[in-house]
Amino acid sequence: MTAIRALISMIGCVAAIAGTVAVQPVVVAGTGNPDLDVPAVQAPVDRGGHLVLAGHFSFDRPPTRPPENLTPAGSRCQRTS
């Protein structure tokens, strides 16, 4: 039940700041649980804008759809540590 509440909270936070995506980056906190982390990251990625990942994430599950556009080398993606 706690995992469901955490997922709902993260989705609610992302939805609440969706209107300001162009101005401020969306910050998503990782839980280490792929059932929570994947949808929490996928929702703001689908909307576009800047995304900041904080914490430890797990994406250890099979894709739900095939990749359409892979990011080419030299794109605007940034890696941070």
Tens digits of residue pLDDT in 9-65: 777 767 666 655 446 788 999 999 999 999 999 888 888 878 899 999 998 888 777
Overall pTM surpassing 0.85 (yes/no): no
Overall domain count for the chain: 1
Residue 19: strand, helix, or coil: helix
Quick one: pLDDT at residue 64?
A: 72
Whether 66 is in a domain gets the answer no
Query: Is a pLDDT exceeding 70 seen at residue 69?
Result: no
Whether 70 is in a domain gets the answer no
Whether 74 is in a domain gets the answer no
Whether 76 is in a domain gets the answer no
Residue 14: strand, helix, or coil: helix
Whether 75 is in a domain gets the answer no
Whether 78 is in a domain gets the answer no
Range of the domain at 45: 2-54
Residue 52, beta-bridge partner list = 27
